[in-house]
C-alpha cells in the first residue's frame, strides 16, 4: 500500500496498479477519487479540501456527482476528455487544466491516474491529483512512467510493448521487419507453491537479468504478468527477422537450461516460445501478439518442440479448439459425456476382477472425439477438474449398481484416471471421500490411476495427498509406467500398490529384445516391492502367455474386451457369472 499523509482515503481499499510502493502523496495535493462503472458513469466518491481549493470550487457537496452528466467545472470539456482518454488507453494522463470561474481563469497541473483495475484490467477507480507546484508536477509526471515498467523487475511492461510496436511499424515498414517472441516459463507455478512467492519473485528477477544480458541490440525484453515475457525484435533489412528470431530462441533455451541458484539450491527451469513475424499485410500490434500467443499455446511441457513459429493454419486450429472447448463446457454442463468400462482380468484364472473407467465424447456432428484430443484440451483449460470429478462420481455409482445387483462379484474394483491438476486440488481428498460416501462404495473398491510425471513434478505435495487417500483404503496405481522417467528410485517415496505397464511395451514385446527386457525388469521390480502388475493393451494370446510367465497377475486389452458401455459392461458381468457356475 502507498504511504499517505493527511489523505487516508486514497488507495485505502486496494493496492494501486501503477504506482511504486515507495511514493508518498502529501497533504498539499488536491485529490479526488472517481469510481468508474462505465464510460458514462464516472462518479466522485471522495475528495479532499485541497482539491476544492485548487480547483476554485467553494462548495463541498460533490460526493456522488457523475462527471459525465454534470461537468461542474467550466473548462470546455478538457477534464472529461482527459478522463475518457485515460479510460480508453488505461494510462495516466497529465495536463494543464484550464478552469474559468466567472471573470477569473486559472491553470493548474492535473494528473488522472488509473489506481485500481478489475479482472479484465479495465480501470475501476481513477485518482485526480492537482498541484500548482512545478516540483510536484514533475513528481506526477514521473508516476506516468510506472504505466510502462514492471515493478518487480524494472523491465518494460505490456503498455510499453504496445507503443513500441506501433513505433516500429511506423519506422521500419515497408522495408524493415519486426517479430515478437512470447516466452513462458514451464510450470513456474510449482516454484511458488513449493518455495513461496518471495523466492519465486527472486527467481523471476534473476531470470530477467539473465535473459536481458544475452539479447542483441535490436531486441527489447518485456515482462508480462506472472511467468511470461515478450521480446520485440526489429530489423531494417527485410528477409532476416525469421532466422534472427529462431536463432535467439535457441539461445534463450540454452541459457534457461542453466540452473538458477537461489537460497542454496539450484532451480531447473525451461521455456516454451511462440514467435510471430509481422508482414506488410499485418500492422496491428495486438494481432501480432495474439499470433505469438497462438503459437505458444500450441506448445506444452510434454512437447519435444519448445519453439513454434506462427503460421496461418494455427489460427484455424485455434478457432477450432476454442469452438471445441465451448462445446466441451456445454457437454459437461448438460452431462452429455459418457463413460466406457474396460474389463481388467486376472491372468491367473481369466476371471473378471474390475473395470477401468474411460471417458467418451460422442459429438453431435463429428461423432466420437478421441480422448487424445479432448483430454489435453480439458487440462489446458482447467475443465479436467469438473470432468474428472464427474467421471469419479459416475464410475463409483456404476460399480455400486453392479455389486448390489450381482453380490457374488462384490469384490469388483473400479479404476479411475486422475489428472495431476485434479489430484493437486486442495479439496481432492475430501471430494473423493464424499464421492465414496454418496455412492456407498468402500475405499478398497476404488483404484486411482496417476501418471509418473504427476508424482515426480510435485513429489512432496503428491506424497501427502496419496497418504491421505491410502488412509481411506483406496488403492493407487501408476498409469503408463515406464514411459516417463528413467529413475525408479521414486517408487519407494509413494504408497503405490500397482504398476500399469504401458501398452507400447506390450505391443513390441515379441518384436524387440529391449521391450521384452524392460517388461521383465519391471516384473522383477514389482515383485521385489510387493506391487501388483497390470499389462495394458494385450491383443494376442502369445503376449498373454509371455506375460503370465513373467509374473504379471492382471491385464486388459482387446484380447479380453474392448471398452464397453454401461449396459454392455453389465452384460459382460452376467456372462462372467454364467462361466463361474
Asked whether the predicted pLDDT for residue 140 surpasses 70, the reply is no
Q: Give residue 5's pLDDT.
A: 29
Distance (Å) of CA 304 to CA 191, 249, 398, 517: 22, 15, 39, 26
Q: Is residue 59 part of a domain?
A: yes
Q: Is residue 286 part of a domain?
A: yes
- Spell out the long-range contacts of 467-470 with Cβ–Cβ below 8 A and sequence spacing 24 or more: 467/495, 468/429, 469/429, 469/432, 470/495
* Across 180-209, average pLDDT: 86
Mean pLDDT of the chain: 82
Which of 245-259, 520-534, 558-572: highest mean pLDDT? 558-572
Q: Is there a contact between 265 and 158 (Cβ–Cβ < 8 Å)? A: no
Q: Is residue 447 part of a domain?
A: yes
Looking at the DSSP bridge assignments, the partners of residue 448 are 416, 476
Q: 476 and 572, same structural domain?
A: yes
Q: 342 and 295, same structural domain?
A: no
Q: Is residue 197 part of a domain?
A: yes
Task: Pick the range with the lowest mean pLDDT from 193-207, 211-225, 244-258, 313-327.
Answer: 313-327
* Across 203-228, average pLDDT: 90
Q: Give residue 16's pLDDT.
A: 33
Q: Give residue 7's pLDDT.
A: 30
Q: Give residue 473's pLDDT.
A: 96
Which residue would you say has higher pLDDT here, 544 or 511?
544
Q: 358 and 268, same structural domain?
A: no
Q: Residue 131: how many CB atoms within 10 A of its CB?
A: 22
Q: Give residue 22's pLDDT.
A: 35
Asked whether the predicted pLDDT for residue 355 surpasses 90, the reply is yes
* Across 411-426, average pLDDT: 92
Distance CA 419, CA 422 (A): 5
Q: 505 and 378, same structural domain?
A: yes
Among the three residues 97, 117, 146, which one is the final residue of a domain in this structure?
146
Q: Give residue 513's pLDDT.
A: 78
Asked whether the predicted pLDDT for residue 300 surpasses 80, the reply is no
Q: Give residue 27's pLDDT.
A: 43
- Out of 177, 449, 536, 576, which one is annotated catalytic? 536
Q: 167 and 132, same structural domain?
A: no
Asked whether the predicted pLDDT for residue 136 surpasses 80, the reply is no
Structure confidence by residue, pLDDT tens digits, 304-338: 678 888 887 776 676 677 777 788 888 777 777 89
Asked whether the predicted pLDDT for residue 510 surpasses 80, the reply is no
Distance CA 56, CA 266 (A): 61
Phi-psi group of 436: left, alpha or beta (phi > 0 → left; psi -120 to 50 → alpha; rest → beta): alpha
Asked whether the predicted pLDDT for residue 137 surpasses 60, the reply is no
Cα 310 to its chain centre, rounded Å, is: 20
Which residue would you say has higher pLDDT here, 509 or 489?
509
CATH number at 481 reads 3.20.20.450
Q: 294 and 240, same structural domain?
A: yes
Which of 39-48, 156-165, 166-175, 537-546: highest mean pLDDT? 537-546
Short-list 455, 460, 511, 459, CA closest to 480: 455
Q: Is residue 288 part of a domain?
A: yes
Q: Is there a contact between 563 and 358 (Cβ–Cβ < 8 Å)? A: yes
Task: Pick the range with the lowest mean pLDDT from 126-130, 234-238, 529-533, 534-538.
Answer: 234-238
Short-list 567, 533, 575, 474, CA closest to 344: 533
Helix ranges, 303-419 (H): 312-333, 371-381, 384-405
Structure confidence by residue, pLDDT tens digits, 440-463: 999 999 999 998 878 877 778 888
Asked whether the predicted pLDDT for residue 260 surpasses 80, the reply is yes
Asked whether the predicted pLDDT for residue 10 surpasses 80, the reply is no
Structure confidence by residue, pLDDT tens digits, 380-391: 778 889 999 999
Q: Residue 577: how many CB atoms within 10 A of its CB?
A: 13
Q: 133 and 75, same structural domain?
A: yes
Q: 205 and 236, same structural domain?
A: yes
State which residues form the domain around 57: 3-146
Helical (H) or strand (E) element with 366: none
Asked whether the predicted pLDDT for residue 368 surpasses 90, the reply is no
Question: Are β-strands 446-451 and 475-481 bridged in parallel, bridged antiparallel, or unpaired?
Answer: parallel
Asked whether the predicted pLDDT for residue 12 surpasses 60, the reply is no
Which residue would you say has higher pLDDT here, 436 or 374?
436
Indicate if 246 belongs to the active site.
no
Q: Give residue 353's pLDDT.
A: 95
Say which DSSP state 180 is in: E
* Across 234-263, average pLDDT: 85
Asked whether the predicted pLDDT for residue 8 surpasses 60, the reply is no
Structure confidence by residue, pLDDT tens digits, 61-120: 788 888 888 877 888 889 899 999 888 887 888 888 888 877 778 888 888 888 766 666
Short-list 571, 547, 570, 567, CA closest to 557: 547
Q: Give residue 343's pLDDT.
A: 97
Q: Is residue 516 part of a domain?
A: yes
How many structural domains are present in the chain? 3
Which residue would you say has higher pLDDT here, 519 or 301?
519
Share of the chain above pLDDT 70, in %: 85
Asked whether the predicted pLDDT for residue 484 surpasses 90, the reply is no
* Across 23-42, average pLDDT: 69
Phi, psi of 90 (to 5 degrees): 55, 40
Structure confidence by residue, pLDDT tens digits, 524-534: 888 888 899 99
Q: Give residue 51's pLDDT.
A: 82
CATH number at 41 reads 3.30.450.20
Q: Is residue 323 part of a domain?
A: no
Q: 193 and 115, same structural domain?
A: no
Q: 439 and 296, same structural domain?
A: no
* Across 211-228, average pLDDT: 90
Q: 363 and 495, same structural domain?
A: yes
Distance CA 447, CA 531 (A): 14
Asked whether the predicted pLDDT for residue 365 surpasses 50, the reply is yes
Among the three residues 310, 344, 370, which one is the final residue of a domain in this structure?
310
Q: 572 and 496, same structural domain?
A: yes
Among the three residues 277, 310, 343, which one is the final residue of a domain in this structure?
310
Q: Is residue 23 part of a domain?
A: yes
- Gyration radius from the chain CA atoms: 31
Phi, psi of 511 (to 5 degrees): -105, -30
Q: Under DSSP, is residue 469 helix (H, G, I), strand (E, B) or coil?
A: helix
Q: Give residue 135's pLDDT.
A: 59
CA angle 72, 78, 84 (to 5 degrees): 95
Task: Pick the range with the lowest mean pLDDT from 100-109, 406-415, 434-443, 492-501.
Answer: 100-109
CATH number at 192 reads 3.30.70.270
Amino acid at each position: 500500500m502507498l504511504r499517505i499523509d493527511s489523505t487516508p482515503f486514497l488507495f485505502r481499499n486496494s493496492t494501486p496498479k501503477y504506482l511504486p510502493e515507495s511514493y508518498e502523496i502529501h497533504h498539499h495535493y488536491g485529490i479526488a477519487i472517481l469510481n468508474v462503472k462505465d464510460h458514462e458513469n464516472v462518479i466522485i466518491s471522495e475528495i479532499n479540501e485541497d482539491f476544492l481549493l485548487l480547483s476554485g470550487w467553494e462548495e463541498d457537496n460533490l460526493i456522488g456527482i457523475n462527471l459525465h452528466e454534470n461537468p461542474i467545472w467550466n473548462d470546455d470539456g478538457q477534464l472529461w476528455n482527459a478522463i475518457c482518454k485515460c479510460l480508453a488507453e488505461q494510462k495516466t494522463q497529465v495536463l494543464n487544466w484550464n478552469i474559468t470561474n466567472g471573470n477569473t481563469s486559472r491553470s493548474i497541473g492535473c494528473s488522472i491516474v488509473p489506481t485500481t483495475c478489475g479482472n479484465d484490467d479495465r480501470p475501476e477507480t481513477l485518482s485526480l491529483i492537482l498541484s500548482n507546484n512545478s516540483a510536484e508536477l514533475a513528481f506526477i509526471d514521473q508516476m506516468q512512467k510506472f504505466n510502462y515498467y514492471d515493478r518487480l523487475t524494472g523491465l518494460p511492461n505490456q503498455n510499453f510493448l504496445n507503443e513500441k510496436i506501433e513505433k516500429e511499424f511506423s519506422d521500419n515498414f515497408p522495408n524493415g521487419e519486426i517479430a515478437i517472441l512470447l516466452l513462458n516459463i514451464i510450470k513456474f507455478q510449482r516454484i511458488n507453491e513449493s518455495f513461496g512467492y518471495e523466492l519465486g519473485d527472486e527467481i523471476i528477477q534473476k531470470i530477467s537479468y539473465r535473459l536481458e544480458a544475452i539479447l542483441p541490440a535490436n531486441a527489447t525484453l518485456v515482462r508480462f504478468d506472472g511467468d511470461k515475457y515478450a521480446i520485440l525484435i526489429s530489423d531494417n533489412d527485410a528477409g532476416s527477422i525469421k532466422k534472427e528470431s529462431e536463432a535467439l530462441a535457441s539461445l534463450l533455451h540454452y541459457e534457461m537450461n542453466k540452473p538458477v541458484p537461489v537460497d542454496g539450491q539450484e532451480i531447473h527451469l525451461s521455456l516454451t516460445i511462440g514467435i510471430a513475424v509481422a508482414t506488410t499485410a499485418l500492422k496491428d500490434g495486438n494481432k501480432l501478439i495474439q499470433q505469438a500467443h497462438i503459437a505458444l499455446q500450441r506448445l506444452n511441457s510434454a512437447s519435444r518442440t519448445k519453439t513454434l513459429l506462427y503460421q496461418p493454419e494455427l489460427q484455424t486450429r485455434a478457432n477450432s479448439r476454442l469452438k471445441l472447448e465451448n462445446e466441451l463446457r456445454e457437454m459437461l454442463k448438460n452431462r452429455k459425456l459418457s463413460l466406457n468400462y474396460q474389463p481388467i482380468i486376472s491372468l491367473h484364472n481369466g476371471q473378471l476382477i474390475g473395470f477401468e473407467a474411460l471417458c467418451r465424447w460422442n459429438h453431435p456432428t463429428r461423432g466420437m472425439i478421441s480422448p487424445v484430443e479432448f483430454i489435453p484440451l480439458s487440462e489446458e483449460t482447467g475443465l479436467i477438474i469438473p470432468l474428472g470429478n464427474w467421471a469419479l462420481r459416475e464410475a463409483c455409482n456404476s460399480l455400486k449398481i453392479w455389486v448390489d445387483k450381482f453380490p457374488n462379484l462384490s469384490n469388483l474394483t473400479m479404476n479411475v484416471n486422475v489428472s495431476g491438476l485434479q489430484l493437486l486440488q486442495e479439496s481432492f481428498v475430501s471430494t473423493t471421500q464424499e464421492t465414496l460416501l454418496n455412492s456407498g462404495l468402500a475405499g478398497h473398491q476404488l483404484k486411482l490411476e496417476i501418471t509418473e510425471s504427476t508424482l515426480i513434478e510435485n513429489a512432496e505435495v503428491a506424497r501427502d495427498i496419496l497418504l491421505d487417500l491410502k488412509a481411506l483404503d483406496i488403492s493407487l496405481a501408476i498409469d503408463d509406467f515406464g514411459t516417463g522417467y528413467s529413475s525408479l528410485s521414486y517408487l519407494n517415496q509413494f504408497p503405490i500398490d500397482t504398476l500399469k505397464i504401458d501398452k507400447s511395451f506390450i505391443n513390441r514385446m515379441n518384436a524387440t529384445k529391449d521391450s521384452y527386457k524392460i517388461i521383465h525388469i519391471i516384473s522383477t521390480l514389482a515383485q521385489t516391492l510387493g506391487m501388483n502388475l497390470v499389462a495394458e493393451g494385450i491383443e494376442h494370446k502369445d503376449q498373454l502367455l509371455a506375460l503370465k510367465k513373467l509374473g504379471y497377475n492382471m491385464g486388459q486389452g482387446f484380447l479380453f474386451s474392448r471398452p464397453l458401455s454401461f449396459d454392455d459392461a453389465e452384460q459382460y458381468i452376467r456372462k462372467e457369472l454364467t462361466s463361474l457356475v
